[in-house]
Amino acid sequence: MQRFERVGEIRQQVDEWRMSGERIAFVPTMGNLHRGHLRLVEQAHQHGQRTVVSIFVNPMQFNDQDDYAAYPSTLTQDCEKLVEAGVDALFLPSVAVIYPDGYQQNSQVVVPGLSDILCGAYRPGHFTGVATVVAKLFNIVLPNVALFGEKDFQQLMVIRRMVDELCFPVKIIGVPTEREHDGLAMSSRNGYLNVDERQRAALLYRLLKEARSQLLAGNVKIAAVEAQARQALEAGGFRPEYFSVRNAGDLSPATAKTQDLVIVAAAWLGKARLIDNICLNLG
């Protein structure tokens, strides 16, 4: 695996690959890699002859600078995993390479509406930070396809909309969430859970599944399902931000007529902010 830190260097390598007719599949990450990321890499190999991964902890998407400072870095282990997974190139830029004048001075990519609801309402500026850095990474790496986890459902929608509306020539592929044995969605933030919290953490996914079953059975109102789940989260020691049944196409609140649904949830457990989702179709 080749490592690149400068924009010109990775561009030159990717240009050579493209000129010889190879397709580039790209997996942007913030490092601290787990099985979920490796699944993205595995899928990337199906979509291109060359797989490029980036590791960049993007300060612009953290609305809490302590959270940014505490974000885990495990570069040596990450590199070992990526080599083993058959990655061709790792792009590892510094903050100064991505934001030479600081991210506050950088042009911004705003995806209006979608960025301001759910996680965006609790983390102002987060999705503008994500969209901006992903746009920059796409323009640096110039991939044919890019892969993102479905655990970050709203992020995936923001990126799809940005790509669509700004006409990026990149195909976006969503990859199903990897889970622990008890159903907890894999996330770098799971490392913030203590032993007791880790045992309780799978409640979030259990409640999503329960809510889906209730809606599929068709005998409960959406508001009742949401309220019941929030109460159960509180009883389980979580501090829920939202547990909400939405239209899977645009994340607007679901009505009794919406068929294609996603139930999205975010809740704090100790120092970890956990998010997860589950889709269902009532058609």
Q: Which residues of this chain interact with ligand PAF, rule CB under 6 A?
A: 28-30, 58, 61, 130, 133-134, 152, 155
**Minimum distance between the CB of residue 132 and ligand PAF, rounded to whole angstroms?**
9
* CB closer to ligand PAF, 48 vs 93: 93
Let me know if 181 is a catalytic residue. no
Pair 33, 82: CB distance under 8 Å: yes
| Phi, psi for 271 (deg, rounded to 5) | -90, 0
Across-strand partners of 277?
264
Q: For residues 197 and 267, what is the distance between their CA atoms, to the nearest angstrom?
A: 12
* CB closer to ligand PAF, 98 vs 280: 98
Let me know if 49 is exposed, middle or buried by CB neighbors in 10 A (0-12, 13-18, 19+). middle
**Minimum distance between the CB of residue 281 and ligand PAF, rounded to whole angstroms?**
26
**Minimum distance between the CB of residue 148 and ligand PAF, rounded to whole angstroms?**
6
Q: For residues 227 and 82, what is the distance between their CA atoms, to the nearest angstrom?
A: 42
Which of these is catalytic: 34, 37, 47, 181? 37
Let me know if 23 is exposed, middle or buried by CB neighbors in 10 A (0-12, 13-18, 19+). middle
**Minimum distance between the CB of residue 103 and ligand PAF, rounded to whole angstroms?**
12
Q: Which residues are catalytic?
A: 37
